[in-house]
Amino acid sequence: MKKLIACLALAATAAAPALAQGWPNKTINLIVPFPAGGSTDMVARAIGPKVTAALGQPVVVDNKAGATGTIGATFVKRAAPDGYTFLVTSLGPLVIAPHLIKGVQYDALKDFDTITVAVQAPNVLVVPANSPYKTVADVVAFEKANPGKMSFGSSGTGSSDHLTAALFWQQTGTSGLHVPYKGGAPVITDLLGGQVDASFQNINAVIQYIRGGKLKALAITSDKRSTLLPDVPTLAESGIKGVDVYSWQAVVGPKGLPVDVRKKFHDAVVAALNDASVKEPFTALGFEIVANTPEQFAAFQQKEFARWQKVIETGKISAE
């Protein structure tokens, strides 16, 4: 009996490596929790063909949008941890939505195996070209004299651009008027038309309008100036500390992935991100390739989770 038990234990131990050795042998699904066409979808579709080539099996992008990304995230949380279902997502479902939405069906810090942060991009504080505000100091001075009067458009409550504005107000002791839109495109339309005073937009979404003179960039939220906008100061250079903010896209899988599968998939994704045909177009748009380790990503997620929780609780922000 003892020998039988020992043999069964050995067989169980060998099962996970056997699964990894045979992986992949069918289609891998990349779940994007947002509609097609956005930055997250762009990342998934850019790495998909490269991962397909590296692993020898089709990689398919499946958009499961809704509830600020939590529907797609929940789907992946419930998927079998066999290496055939992964989530390609923005920071929202992983570090923001759990603080905004009641009843989220997953624990963002415990229910996923981190793979890598794929890319990150800073936000830019932009105003219409004919705006009277020339510097960040002008904005702060106006807001201190006129609390809640200056309108800041965002792509929705709890979005990166909204929370960057909230953090900006908290760090400067000011307040503005938050105007949420359904997505980034209508915000930019109203910025161009002068219907909204300002916005913290992802650099990739507004770089063409800044270069074309249709929008004026007052500051960037990165920790150093962007090579794409070398004349635009950081917020820190403008005297505003603690508002170094990046929007980011990342890849996670359901909790419990076999170690070898997780490593093999991570390596394929990182290689895809660093391939010149992927890296150069993203860099030209203002994205920075991160491609870090699962351990680095996990530590980063913990930090971001705590940071945005504090901003949301301090600002009494709710998506309900």
Is the model more confident about 263 or about 13? 263
Contact 116, 251 (CB under 8 A): yes
Contact partners, residue 129, CB within 8 Å, separation at least 6: 213, 214, 215, 216
pLDDT of 24 = 98
Residue 1: pLDDT above 70?
Answer: no
Domains of the chain, residue spans = 2-18+26-120+246-315, 122-220
Residue range 219-260, pLDDT digits in tens:
999 999 999 999 999 999 999 999 999 999 999 999 999 999
Name the residue type at position 83.
G
- C-alpha to C-alpha distance for 80 and 71, rounded to whole angstroms: 16
Kindly report the CATH class assigned to 2-18+26-120+246-315.
alpha beta
- Which range, of 17-21, 116-120, 292-296, 315-319, averages the lowest pLDDT? 17-21
Residue 196: pLDDT above 90?
Answer: yes
Percent of the chain's residues with pLDDT above 90 = 87
CB neighbours of residue 275 within 10 Å: 17
Domain 2-18+26-120+246-315 and domain 122-220, same fold? Reply is: yes
Q: What is the mean pLDDT of residues 108-122?
A: 98
Which of helix, strand or coil describes residue 79? coil
- C-alpha to C-alpha distance for 121 and 274, rounded to whole angstroms: 16
Please calculate the CA angle 310-314-315 and round it to the nearest 5 degrees: 120
- C-alpha to C-alpha distance for 236 and 240, rounded to whole angstroms: 5
Name the residue type at position 114.
T
Residue range 69-109, pLDDT digits in tens:
999 999 999 999 999 999 999 999 999 999 999 899 999 99
CATH architecture of 122-220: 3-Layer(aba) Sandwich (3.40)
